[in-house]
């Protein structure tokens, strides 16, 4: 939730113009206008260590020295780190994102000449070649070069400088150091502040006292941006780098803006833009029919990424085919960050599955969410009061629409003080939560990172006195403006226009979540005895955590604000929301004694956020264009590891017409995080407010979601254990089918279901590519089979892939808990050979017993030669006492009518039905235990 578009709290900083383009960012312009630095590798400096190889690099013009570390890892990646050889001040390195220290392979020397050193490791499949001059690193598979680092000579490493000043510049006070040339210094923290460079540009330099005596003192100052380029050979398709409202495939940036990774609060963001949005994942995924590669750039400062495809698309069209074939396709990727070190990992794949596993081993696997979190969530800014919440809850029951979670935005608090409740509108919050819990439903409340400046509020005083706030460059607690101070009654009829004219945002201070001490303090605030009115069923929503600062530059934190350890905000800006997300998850984990799985939604994120919870695409708009763009946005998040993601159904801003609302519910029901949410200026849009026809369509979409929960949960478990995305671009499942590489309007849920949502008004059908000429696809509703490798116009949104198994719940209920008690139906879609396999994963759906006590039930289904077997995978025996039964089995693609059907353990042959027009065999009244092995045979 951002400030509304007609309400700016930043003087002379109105609208979208407040956000910078690349030419307005000093370090980017300085680098792009400057010459390429020329580096050489000092090959005789090679040292082989337990963790790889060590080289020294020298920049020819300045003779400054850098340290290069190359570390092959056992999981199939190579880590490259470049730092100053003799730094006068340690540079910031990202912490807490990598889950474990990577296990390194030992390198050995293969060949050494005057021009290069060749190194290889255990399997001998991959090699490294380090060239002396110009310095380059090649990664090879056999004799084929896969990736070249510094192929265009764009290695850039601005080093901090030590400057000495005479004693007559010393002072007795806090401001006289402003007389230092090109710097302003701050006491008592003596940390980093701003410097002016040139006549028009402000660059942000690190400044620190490193030595002080009676005659002089030394200041460490200067710009410290870093950059490096990569050539990806035989690659023409790259993906990732969320978050941007743009296509899935990353575009050539020549002649336009680079992709910006800088977390910002952008209300009603522009479409098809490379402007940074709420979160950043510096992972680029490259794919060709032969191989998948990845580049993970571990840097949390402002980052730009330029991409050039060679030959580019325009040249492809204009170049004669014979000449075009002689040009080897490749993609150049140039990374540039404001500060820190160069710390990057090249993921070698070679398959998409291996690539995603490698990345998950680096930054963490997708957390397994509680089942209720996969149900439908109903939210609004804001539900007015206790009575309003109860009426909305009752409305779902009276209209027979299942849902799991109701959400409360900022108005539920007492004067925008988080961890409080409005005493008039919500006088009995624990009673409200108990009312929902009786129906097995949950309540989620918002908790933002800014704390209202209020000396009479105990949480503010604790944070101030405990040193938990970010500080300004002058050493005082930083104060900015956000929601506190904007007051309005509970009535939903208070609109933006009214509080714009009567309310002024008050000051807030911002918690320093980069500090482990602050995160621990914040986590304890969620304890039941500390958070009055909360219960064990209350879950949390972190918003505005880019961080959003209405009065700040680009509506965020000033870069020279100071964090724990003296680090400037610029160093770790993109980590801020990740750290709040982490602290909130820790709080809910601690509240339950580590027994229950928490649910926390965060708007801002970074690499590794997948192991914490869910994210969403922020303040979207109720138009068809935003519905359409949500698909590639979610796919970009998914390939970058952020798999529990969704977009606000119906659009956060403006009012959708009934057709758009229905189509958005249909699309949202087939996405991982499924929430309807809108801002308070919009009309109420609970599903039953648009007439029975619309209500029926929305009810059907939500009910279909709930029936598919066993499949969703199984796919999430697969992601939790393998790193494979939940939502998958088609090329992930069909890596050699080039027709899928540019598609971003359809996708796979797991490996079985192909989805193509309707995103255009008045559409009666959709054009669907069915990939794989050797595949067979089945219409989910009619079971009609279609061969792959072609495009069809179909009046459906869902196809089942042959060779797969999908489990569903049979019946209806009011929430996920009730659906978990229902019997199951199993749909087996046979491939062209009459075979199929798939699995079902079950546990209690809410605790960590699946992990700590092996309390799970994992079943594998295999169809071959007219026999369907159900059993546990080898080595996967769980202890979960599962009482669910399989009531029916449907097998698609049965060419001939069976004469009989037999089931092991069932004395009386079960009834079955065969439909020859669609080759569908349905076996009913089975009552087979999920937890027991069984076999169905048809003749």
Contact 690, 659 (CB under 8 A): no
317 is catalytic: no
Measured in whole angstroms, how far is the alpha carbon of residue 497 from the centre of its chain? 34
State how far the Cα of 208 lies from the Cα of 192, in Å rounded to an integer.
6
Contact 449, 580 (CB under 8 A): yes
Contact 658, 691 (CB under 8 A): yes
State how far the Cα of 787 lies from the Cα of 797, in Å rounded to an integer.
17
Closest CA to 903 of 885, 889, 884: 889
Residue 627 backbone dihedrals phi, psi, to 5 degrees: -60, -45
- Catalytic position from the list 422, 543, 799, 839: 543
DSSP assignment, residue 428?
-
Q: Could you tell me the end-to-end alpha-carbon distance of the chain, in angstroms, rounded to an integer?
A: 59
Contact 811, 685 (CB under 8 A): no
Q: The tokens 């972190």 sit on which residue? A: 542
Residue 499 backbone dihedrals phi, psi, to 5 degrees: -80, -15
The region, left, alpha or beta by phi > 0 then psi within -120 to 50, assigned to residue 544 is: left
Contacts of 513 (CB under 8 A, 6+ apart): 449, 519, 522, 576, 579, 580, 582, 583
Helix, strand, coil shares, percent, the chain, to 5: 20, 30, 50
543 is catalytic: yes
Buried b (16+ CB within 10 A) or exposed e, 309-323: bebeeeeeeeeeeee
State how far the Cα of 672 lies from the Cα of 367, in Å rounded to an integer.
13
State how far the Cα of 845 lies from the Cα of 368, in Å rounded to an integer.
9
At 817 the three-state DSSP class reads: helix
Token digits of residue 554: 């680009």
State how far the Cα of 436 lies from the Cα of 267, in Å rounded to an integer.
32
The sign of the CA dihedral 11, 12, 18, 23 is: negative
How is 201-255 classified by DSSP, letter by letter? Answer: EEEEE--EEEEE-SSEEEEEE----EEEEEEEET--EEEE----SS-SSPPP-TT
- Rg over CA atoms, the chain: 29
How is 664-700 classified by DSSP, letter by letter? Answer: HHHHHTTSSSEEE---TTSPP--TTSS-HHHHHHHHH
The total of other beta-carbon atoms located within 10 Å of residue 854's CB is: 13
* Angle, CA of 351, 356 and 360, to the nearest 5°: 150
901, β-bridge pairs: 938
State how far the Cα of 570 lies from the Cα of 226, in Å rounded to an integer.
13
State how far the Cα of 756 lies from the Cα of 729, in Å rounded to an integer.
11
Q: The tokens 């990353």 sit on which residue? A: 250
The total of other beta-carbon atoms located within 10 Å of residue 21's CB is: 13
Measured in whole angstroms, how far is the alpha carbon of residue 423 from the centre of its chain? 36
- Catalytic position from the list 229, 343, 386, 619: 619
Contacts of 154 (CB under 8 A, 6+ apart): 36, 227, 228, 229, 334
532 is catalytic: no
Query: Cα-Cα-Cα-Cα dihedral of 573, 578, 579, 580, to 10°?
Result: 110
- Catalytic position from the list 404, 546, 799, 839: 546
Contact 226, 160 (CB under 8 A): no
Catalytic residues: 543, 546, 619
């Amino acid at each position: 939730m951002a400030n509304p578009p007609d309400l700016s709290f930043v003087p002379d900083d109105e609208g979208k113009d407040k956000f910078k383009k690349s030419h307005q960012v000093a370090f980017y312009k300085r680098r792009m206008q400057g010459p390429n630095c020329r580096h050489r590798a000092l090959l005789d400096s090679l040292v082989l260590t337990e963790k790889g190889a060590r080289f020294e690099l020298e920049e020819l013009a300045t003779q400054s020295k850098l340290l290069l570390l190359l570390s092959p890892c056992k999981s199939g990646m190579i880590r490259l780190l470049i730092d100053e050889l003799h730094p006068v001040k340690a540079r910031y390195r990202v912490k807490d994102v990598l889950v474990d220290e990577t296990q390194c392979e030992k390198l050995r020397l293969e060949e050494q000449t005057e021009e290069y050193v060749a190194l290889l490791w255990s399997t001998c499949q991959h090699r490294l070649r380090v060239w002396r001059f110009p310095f380059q690193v090649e990664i090879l598979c056999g004799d084929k070069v896969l990736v070249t680092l510094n192929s265009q000579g764009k290695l850039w490493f601005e080093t901090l400088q030590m400057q000495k000043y005479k004693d007559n510049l010393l002072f007795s006070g806090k401001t006289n150091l402003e007389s230092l040339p090109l710097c302003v210094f701050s006491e008592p923290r003596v940390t980093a502040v701003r410097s002016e460079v040139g006549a028009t540009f402000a660059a942000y330099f690190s400044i620190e006292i490193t030595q002080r005596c009676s005659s002089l003192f030394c200041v460490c100052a200067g710009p410290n941006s870093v950059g490096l380029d990569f050539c990806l050979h035989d690659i023409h398709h790259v993906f990732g780098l969320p978050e941007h409202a743009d296509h899935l495939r990353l575009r050539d940036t020549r002649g336009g803006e680079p992709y910006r990774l800088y977390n910002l609060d952008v209300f009603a963001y522009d479409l098809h833009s490379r402007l940074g949005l709420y979160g950043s994942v510096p992972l680029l995924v490259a794919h060709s029919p032969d191989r998948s590669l990845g580049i993970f750039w571990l840097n949390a400062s402002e980052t730009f990424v330029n991409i050039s495809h060679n030959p580019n698309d325009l040249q492809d069209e204009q170049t004669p085919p014979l000449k075009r074939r002689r040009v080897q396709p490749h993609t150049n990727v140039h990374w540039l960050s404001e500060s820190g070190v160069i710390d990057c990992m090249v993921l070698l794949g070679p398959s998409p599955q291996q690539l995603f596993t490698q990345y998950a081993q680096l930054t963490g696997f997708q957390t397994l969410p509680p089942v209720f979190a996969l149900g439908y969530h109903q939210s609004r800014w804001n539900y007015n009061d206790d009575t309003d919440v109860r009426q909305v809850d009752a409305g779902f029951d009276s209209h027979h629409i299942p849902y799991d979670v109701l959400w409360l935005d900022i108005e539920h608090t007492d004067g925008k003080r988080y961890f409080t409740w409005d005493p008039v509108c919500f006088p009995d919050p624990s009673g409200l939560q108990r009312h929902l819990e009786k129906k097995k439903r949950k309540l989620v409340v918002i908790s933002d990172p800014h704390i209202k400046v209020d000396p009479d509020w105990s949480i503010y005083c604790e944070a101030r006195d405990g040193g938990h706030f970010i500080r300004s460059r002058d050493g005082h607690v930083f104060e900015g403006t956000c929601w506190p101070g904007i007051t309005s009654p509970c009535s939903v009829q208070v609109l933006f226009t009214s509080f714009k004219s009567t309310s002024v945002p008050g000051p807030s201070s911002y918690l320093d979540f980069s500090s482990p001490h602050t995160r621990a303090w914040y986590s304890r605030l969620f304890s039941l005895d500390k958070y009055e009115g909360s219960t064990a069923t209350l879950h949390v929503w972190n918003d505005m955590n880019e961080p959003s600062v209405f009065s700040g530059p680009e509506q965020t934190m000033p870069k020279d604000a100071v964090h724990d350890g003296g680090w400037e905000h610029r160093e770790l800006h993109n980590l801020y929301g990740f750290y709040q997300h982490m602290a909130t998850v820790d709080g809910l984990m601690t509240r339950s004694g580590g027994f229950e799985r928490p649910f926390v939604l965060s708007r801002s994120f970074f690499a590794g956020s997948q192991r914490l919870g869910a994210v969403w695409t922020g303040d979207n708009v109720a138009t068809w264009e935003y519905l359409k763009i949500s698909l590639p946005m979610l796919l970009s998040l998914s390939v970058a590891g952020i798999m529990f993601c969704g977009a606000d159904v119906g659009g956060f801003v403006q009012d959708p017409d009934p057709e758009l609302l229905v189509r958005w519910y249909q699309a949202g029901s087939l996405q991982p995080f499924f929430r309807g949410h809108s801002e308070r200026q919009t009309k109420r849009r609970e599903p039953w407010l648009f007439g029975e026809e619309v209500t029926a369509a929305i009810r059907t979409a939500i009910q279909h979601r709930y029936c598919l929960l066993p499949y969703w949960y199984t796919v999430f478990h697969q992601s939790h254990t393998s790193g494979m995305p939940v939502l998958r671009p088609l090329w992930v499942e069909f890596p050699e089918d080039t027709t899928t590489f540019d598609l971003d309007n359809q996708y796979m849920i797991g490996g079985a279901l192909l989805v193509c949502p309707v995103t255009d008004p008045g559409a009666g059908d959709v054009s669907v590519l069915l990939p794989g000429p050797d595949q067979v696809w089945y219409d989910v509703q009619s079971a009609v089979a279609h061969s792959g490798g072609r495009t069809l116009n179909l009046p459906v949104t869902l196809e089942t892939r042959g060779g797969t198994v999908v489990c569903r719940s049979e019946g209806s209920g009011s929430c996920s808990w009730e659906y978990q008690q229902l019997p199951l139906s199993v749909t087996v879609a046979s491939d062209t050979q009459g075979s199929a396999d798939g699995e079902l994963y079950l546990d209690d759906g809410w605790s960590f017993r699946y992990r700590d006590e092996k309390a799970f039930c994992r079943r594998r289904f295999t169809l071959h030669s007219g026999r369907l077997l159900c059993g546990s995978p080898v080595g996967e025996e769980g202890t979960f006492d599962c009482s669910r039964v399989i009531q029916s089995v449907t097998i698609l693609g049965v060419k001939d009518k069976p004469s009989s059907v037999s089931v092991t353990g069932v004395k009386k042959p079960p009834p079955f039905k065969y439909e020859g027009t669609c080759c569908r065999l349905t076996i009913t009244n089975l009552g087979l235990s999920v937890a027991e092995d069984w076999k169905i045979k048809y003749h």
